[in-house]
Amino acid sequence: MRESAKEAILNAFKESGGDPNNESACLDWLSVTLAMNNYHRYTELLDGNYASIDHKLDKLSQHHCNLCKTSPFPIKRIPLNLPPISKQASDSDSRKHFERSIKTHLELLNQEISYPKDEKICLLVIFLLGNKDRDKDLDNMSKALLDALNNCLFHDDSAVIHLNLIKLRDDKNTKNGEIMINIRRSGLHQNNDVIFDARNHLKHESIT
Ligand SMILES: [Zn+2]
């Protein structure tokens, strides 16, 4: 296990009242904690707690990317309170208006480019179609958004090497459309064998 991950786990164990020198107790604690997290996730689903579209949006936007292999932080979640547009289906005026709105939103949220030019990026985007929105293709919404984020959230969308897209609709038709972004650095380009490598960690190494 990577040293930073081990430290993070031992620290969390310590914060929960455990003795960080007792790694065997820490492993027991970790397995119970993970099991409880899964249990809560399933009971939430069974109880229908995802009925609220806001709750669903919130949960989905916290998704951690297992492939990009970066430490959990820094992850930025950025809510954009404006309806998605499709690059293909909108005229240039609508696209310009969308781009200006995105820029204004990011300024209001104090979000600016915080990645160096050569940093590779993993992006999760959830498009929520509102009650007045016609259905749109996911890839066309994505293209319009990525274009609008150029020189706002990152230098160029060519830096995005992993893109995770979700399209939702509010069945109760109570909301306007909105977009939720989850952005982080990606470690995918640093290791060609990243997935196999991650499995090796689990297979061959223990927390001790
Ligand atoms: Zn990723």
**Which regions of 86-193 does DSSP assign to beta strands (E)?**
121-129, 160-169, 178-185
Question: 186 C-alpha vs ligand 1 centroid, how far in Å?
Answer: 6
- Which residue ranges in the chain fall short of pLDDT 50? 206-208
Q: What is the pTM of this model?
A: 0.69
CATH code linked to domain 59-189: 3.30.1330.70
Q: Which protein residues have their CB within 5 A of the ion that is ligand 1?
A: 65, 67-68, 122, 162
Alpha-carbon dihedral angle through residues 133, 138, 141, 146, given to the nearest 10 degrees: 150
Distance CA 199, CA 187 (A): 16
Distance CA 205, CA 208 (A): 8
Question: 36 C-alpha vs ligand 1 centroid, how far in Å?
Answer: 25
Per residue in 15-64, pLDDT (tens digit) is 888 898 998 888 888 888 888 776 666 666 666 665 678 888 888 888 88
Question: 132 C-alpha vs ligand 1 centroid, how far in Å?
Answer: 31
What is the domain partition of the chain in residue ranges? Answer: 3-51, 59-189
Largest CA distance in the chain: 63
Distance CA 79, CA 178 (A): 8
What is the number of helices (H) and of strands (E) in the chain? 6, 4
